[in-house]
Amino acid sequence: MKSYIKAISTYFPKQILTNDAISEEFPEWNSEKILQKIGIQERHIASKEECASDMASQAVLQLIEEHQLDKDKIDFLLLCTQTPDYILPTTACIVQDKVGLPTDCAALDINQGCSGYIYGLSVASGLIASGNFKKVVLVTVDTYSKYIHPKDKGNLSIFGDAATATLITPEGDYEIKQPTLGTDGSGAENLIIRNGGTRQARNENPEDLDNFIDMKGGKIFNFIVKRTPEVIQANLALNGWHFEDIDLFIFHQANTHILEKVRQDMEIPVEKFVIEMRDYGNTISSTIPIAFSEHLRKFPKKPKEKILFVGFGVGYSWGAICIETVKKQA
């Protein structure tokens, strides 16, 4: 059975952190310099009281309202986050209750980062293909801002908070093709929060950097530049598509420096390459659905028959998946 993306909705916290505000805290970190270096002007930040389940619930409610869904028909809630409310219970279970989804709706968390949307689509597609589920809602949500040290101007500039909800069904507007996924755990130390699990407990020391995100940007950059072309070619071959067939390339929106390097290396035409992160920042697993929905809203008549999603990052993990627009009957 085929699976399709039927609808996407997004949610952003009300609080906004601008480049100007960052520059006020770090005068050497010029506002325009931030924009030129990473392509971000502002980013949404979750309030102190706002956690993953709150944002995820809002995204699902948006999906239900905007697309007039019967929430009693949703039979699987798949939630991708690396910043859950608690170690247990599952955040998806909390969201099921907050939204008021039926108790015969399955709920499952995926702990995955910047490739999370690709992994999530792969799992959701498999659930539909099994024939056991008809309406799967894939939620992506993260609050990385809660794990950034207040003096870490680099990560403060890069990351934003957001949530998205995608409805996957046996019929819809965008067919989900076969995925290509990969993992290299030897890179785990290059993007990590060391404290907070069972190996090293989180503590109350605000100066203990192990309580916060540690990202080795240079190694992440090298990994992405090397791995992305490989996973793209593998996924195109798997689905019998050719590079020149793709109308839109939508990568995880890490930062514009990385994106532009990969685009140039692969000789992807600018008009086919989607960058939508100026007002959102790097929102982890939410960047691809945000970029996709924003680009469609801004350019509804742009060619989009064949689309390629590519995610990469923490883990290391990576993935690519082809999406084909369903042709409308005349």
- Show the 3-state SS of the chain: CCCEEEEEEEECCCCEEEHHHHHHHCCCCCHHHHHHHHCCCEEECCCCCCCHHHHHHHHHHHHHHHCCCCHHHCCEEEEECCCCCCCCCCHHHHHHHHHCCCCCCEEEEECCCCCHHHHHHHHHHHHHHCCCCCCEEEEEEECHHHHCCCCCHHHHHHECCEEEEEEEECCCCEEEEEEEEEECHHHHHHEECCCCCCCCCCCCCCCCHHHCCEECHHHHHHHHHHHHHHHHHHHHHHHCCCHHHCCEEEECCCCHHHHHHHHHHHCCCHHHECCCCCCCCECHHHHHHHHHHHHHHHCCCCCCCEEEEEEEECCCEEEEEEEEECCCCC
Annotated catalytic residue, options 252, 255, 295, 322? 252
Q: Clarify whether 295 is annotated catalytic.
A: no
Decide if 234 contacts 310 (C-beta within 8 A): no
Which one is catalytic: 19, 155, 235, 282?
282
| Catalytic residue (one of 51, 80, 114, 322) | 114
Distance CA 154, CA 40 (A): 12
Residue type, 303: P
Is the CB of residue 115 less than 8 Å from the CB of residue 154? Answer: no
Residue 242 designated active-site: no
Question: Which sequence positions are flagged as catalytic?
Answer: 114, 252, 282
